[in-house]
Structure 1
């Protein structure tokens, strides 16, 4: 990487913060109090620097639009676009310089550059209180570990550093083994757990807690097949944290009230806010919202409703406007036919209606959509200006990870309890698992995570770690404009190191001239 966050650049970054009456921690602005000669001289300056790192995760190459979703949800067996867009990614036409994730790579290393510099400036800083040092270090360690989590998921071996390096040294780094990076991040997350608070309230909601650190550490262990360690972290969150499963699955995703977007199941979210300057709002919701040009089915046909005649689309849109709603989205992320069909869900699964919508206001839609991720509200959630938070980790995922880890360790006996806790709210009447062998439990978990966590950024990495990505992509039904099964190759479990990065740093090919199999 060629970029380096100097003190002057830091001030420039902070200058983008906005003034607002909403009082959330990402909206503070201390530009008049900060100068390059007086940085980290008090607790508030350290807080502001950490806020800047949270802001980096709002970028469209990460959580703000479809940056991470491109590689975590597309190209799997649940969702794709409603038309022939994003086909290089979904159809596995990825090459160096084509959908190779360069923007995501750059933004993740911005996080790493910033967190590494801030850690060195905060640790042992006599101008700061010990309480401030502990919390800010904990947050920075978590935020850096999250960046390396994504980098190693998407590219495997990548450049690695946790100390400040001069630009000439950093710009010629080769790739370090994924195992080495993840080992260091697990240690950092253990430290972060000890440093971070147990909870937040008010304007600090959205910060990383010790339970977020434990959940991310569990993810690392799970992905590395370290079952006992993964389960231990999950049990800490389940047994010791204040988080709980909500009684109603649909309520988990209800963010219709912008002033009340948190609930007890959320462990870590990226907090977005509408009507503010910069990257505080999100466009990701637009990917899940329908386009009115597509809806409803037979939209250009004439019809009569309550004595009023006109085209279906004009009458349908009138009904939407009566509710202060509209379909102004992009339609980039709709369920695939197999996932959208209720016949492919277990009978009695209440999650189906909370997840899939194929009919709205009594009108059949041309495509199914993810009800859990859409928001048609034209007062509080406008196109390209949405406030919905990105749910990175929630407690149901932790229960399912614990179930999987316990099954791999000891068989299904004690694993049933974890998965059945999640299924208890999913079915009416209750349909708990029992009597499965270890292999049957493992394979049943493939679908359980699919139905519980669909469109939440987990599916493709789950398929990869289970070793079944190719099988699923080649067997699931896609729409006419997509044919990923004809193109996907074993090496597509990783991305190629981006072409732009190779041009800047040829040393990235030293340890693997094939560039993850793309050459």
Structure 2
């Protein structure tokens, strides 16, 4: 379905203009030649076309609005801001992203305006569609409800994204009048209402991957409740998803056997994919239906041809160090000199280098590319030859959104300046995250043994997954991972159990755009991010010069100055910006 999204953009705009047109003197109205009359759209077929336009904005990119800077994978706003990755590339390449990395951004930074535009354009599209549905007569009511429920759910999703990015934001529905809507109310109840409407009215089977169904709406609702710490309300929804949830094609949700398959193009829409942005390549869109938001995030000189951004941080890599029992170092000692993961930082690709031989969680080498470790079927990662500026960005490359050499040309766009436009879906919600929600809920409700069971489901999968191996089948590193045994100190108290949950999300969901938002909602962003900056700035001095997280300001992003200006002062800026 995604390959149709961008193609109907012009049709959507034409429909939006027509539906917003009003004139009391109908006899004076002349329909412009080449523009669709509203009657063409006022039926189920027309509504479905507008609905595709609503879905189209999910990936955060649009040829007519914005591109990588507003990617809904949130690699900038969730992962770089969350300390999982450095901006990468070199110091002079895209200083606007560097401002996010150092928390020195202001409201004039145009990447925030691009993000705002794509989110609120998605909201406008949903409201245009809902207004159209209100005028359709003589069609099957169940079909209309099915379309309406998708639109309302997606409206809730777009507002959720706005809420967690900017905090104080306006809510717009089909009844909103005027151009100037203030951001002076708490919109959480309205987000919940939209998502609950979808959960209560959407069917389980949708007949197409990529559509929201009952369980996708439920997962979005649960996520919104958890962000508000409404754990008791979220619990039955999460349990229902775990026990009964199926994807839009009717496949029951489950953890798939291999962790790495979640990031393999050939396993898109697996049983673990609760909801994903649907990417496709070589479909006539010129790459705009591919993962355009991730276009910069490929090894410089390696697969993808561009551009060396989004380089995993040393602190993030160190997090995969385990103790002698294959368990995380929850006390923070993974960053100590004796435990920090050895890298080729400062070495040319031709210089001798001995790999780290200490115990590591095997998820590291499916998440991060590092020298001497097989990089899918591309051979061994060469180190500096795939790094644009090692001194600035570090020695590592991202791996989760990359593709195999055998997939180039088949699942990557042909004929563009880069092969980094791929059909590799972005998993917005994985079933692994749903299980970790369940663990978080039980921790907050005081059921620590049950929380341990949930976390161990994730760790058991990591233990039994395929490891990265050399051609002879031997493990590429000293991989060790195990489950938490009964009575482990990590589950001796609620405080300790939280540490285990926070860390497991970091290991399992790393570089997937969640970390910054997690740290903020947990209330630990100030402590964690300033500790991170203190550590990483000693290694990447230039990249983190002057960096500091200010909890009074940086828990949310600045509302774009352009949006405040065109609102004629109706929108009020977040404190500190």
Find the residue that maps to 1:470 and give its secondary structure: helix
- How many residues are matched? 452
Shift of 1:80: 1.6
Moved over 6 A (4+): 5-8
Show the 5 A alignment for 1:474-489. Answer: 474-476=530-532, 477-478=535-536, 479-483=540-544, 486-489=547-550
Relative to structure 1, the CA distance from residue 386 to residue 395 in structure 2 (aligned partners, 3 Å threshold; closer, same or farther) is same
Q: What corresponds to 1:311 in structure 2? A: none
Shift of 1:124: 7.0
Find the residue that maps to 2:275 and give its secondary structure: strand
Q: What corresponds to 1:387 in structure 2? A: 423
| More moved, 415-424 vs 401-410 | 415-424
Show the 5 A alignment for 1:267-306. Answer: 267-275=274-282, 276-277=284-285, 279-292=288-301
- Structure 1 residue corresponding to 2:210, chosen from 171, 195, 206: 206
Q: If the length of structure 1 is used for normalisation, what is the TM-score?
A: 0.80
Counterparts of 2:10 and 2:305 in 1: how far apart (Å)? 41
Find the residue that maps to 1:287 and give its secondary structure: coil
Q: What corresponds to 2:383 in structure 1? A: 365
Counterparts of 1:460 and 1:453 in 2: how far apart (Å)? 12
Q: C-alpha offsets along residues 418-462 of structure 1, whole Å, 9 cap, x if unaligned?
A: 212111111256423543121100111111100000111111100
Relative to structure 1, the CA distance from residue 90 to residue 261 in structure 2 (aligned partners, 3 Å threshold; closer, same or farther) is same
- Structure 2 residue corresponding to 1:90, chosen from 90, 101, 122: 101
- Structure 1 residue corresponding to 2:403, chosen from 375, 400, 425: 375
Relative to structure 1, the CA distance from residue 368 to residue 173 in structure 2 (aligned partners, 3 Å threshold; closer, same or farther) is same
Relative to structure 1, the CA distance from residue 236 to residue 343 in structure 2 (aligned partners, 3 Å threshold; closer, same or farther) is closer
Q: What corresponds to 2:444 in structure 1? A: 408
Contact 1:149 1:220 in 2 (8 A): yes
Shift of 1:7: 8.9
Relative to structure 1, the CA distance from residue 8 to residue 112 in structure 2 (aligned partners, 3 Å threshold; closer, same or farther) is closer
Q: C-alpha offsets along residues 313-347 of structure 1, whole Å, 9 cap, x if unaligned?
A: xxxxxxxxxxxxx4512121111012224763444
CA RMSD of aligned residues (A): 2.8
Q: What corresponds to 2:258 in structure 1? A: 248
Counterparts of 1:234 and 1:363 in 2: how far apart (Å)? 40
| More moved, 48-57 vs 91-100 | 91-100
Relative to structure 1, the CA distance from residue 282 to residue 416 in structure 2 (aligned partners, 3 Å threshold; closer, same or farther) is same
Find the residue that maps to 1:186 and give its secondary structure: helix
Relative to structure 1, the CA distance from residue 142 to residue 452 in structure 2 (aligned partners, 3 Å threshold; closer, same or farther) is same
Shift of 1:266: 0.5
Counterparts of 1:156 and 1:239 in 2: how far apart (Å)? 33
Does residue 499 of the first structure (1) align with residue 499 of the second (2)? no
- Structure 1 residue corresponding to 2:128, chosen from 117, 120, 127: 117
Relative to structure 1, the CA distance from residue 8 to residue 348 in structure 2 (aligned partners, 3 Å threshold; closer, same or farther) is closer
Relative to structure 1, the CA distance from residue 504 to residue 90 in structure 2 (aligned partners, 3 Å threshold; closer, same or farther) is same
Relative to structure 1, the CA distance from residue 376 to residue 218 in structure 2 (aligned partners, 3 Å threshold; closer, same or farther) is same
Find the residue that maps to 1:57 and give its secondary structure: helix
Counterparts of 1:368 and 1:6 in 2: how far apart (Å)? 41
Counterparts of 1:265 and 1:34 in 2: how far apart (Å)? 43
Shift of 1:494: 0.9
Does residue 518 of the first structure (1) align with residue 576 of the second (2)? yes
Show the 5 A alignment for 1:450-465. Answer: 450-465=506-521
**Structure 1: gaps of 5 or more residues:** 15-31, 296-325
Counterparts of 2:449 and 2:380 in 1: how far apart (Å)? 45
**Structure 2: gaps of 5 or more residues:** 1-8, 19-32, 246-251, 323-327, 329-358, 385-394, 465-480
Show the 5 A alignment for 1:165-176. Answer: 165-166=176-177, 169=178, 171-176=179-184
Counterparts of 1:516 and 1:371 in 2: how far apart (Å)? 35
Q: What corresponds to 1:42 in structure 2? A: 43
Contact 2:273 2:430 in 1 (8 A): yes
Shift of 1:408: 0.3
Relative to structure 1, the CA distance from residue 411 to residue 46 in structure 2 (aligned partners, 3 Å threshold; closer, same or farther) is same
Contact 1:34 1:45 in 2 (8 A): no
- Structure 2 residue corresponding to 1:332, chosen from 297, 306, 309: 309
Q: What corresponds to 2:201 in structure 1? A: 195
| More moved, 404-413 vs 209-218 | 404-413
Contact 1:123 1:137 in 2 (8 A): no
Relative to structure 1, the CA distance from residue 364 to residue 263 in structure 2 (aligned partners, 3 Å threshold; closer, same or farther) is same
Contact 1:94 1:100 in 2 (8 A): no
Counterparts of 1:149 and 1:48 in 2: how far apart (Å)? 24
Q: C-alpha offsets along residues 388-407 of structure 1, whole Å, 9 cap, x if unaligned?
A: 21211111101101110111
Counterparts of 1:63 and 1:390 in 2: how far apart (Å)? 18
Relative to structure 1, the CA distance from residue 144 to residue 480 in structure 2 (aligned partners, 3 Å threshold; closer, same or farther) is same
Relative to structure 1, the CA distance from residue 229 to residue 485 in structure 2 (aligned partners, 3 Å threshold; closer, same or farther) is farther
Counterparts of 1:8 and 1:248 in 2: how far apart (Å)? 40
Find the residue that maps to 2:397 and give its secondary structure: strand
Q: C-alpha offsets along residues 223-252 of structure 1, whole Å, 9 cap, x if unaligned?
A: 101011122221111011121110110111
Contact 1:58 1:280 in 2 (8 A): no
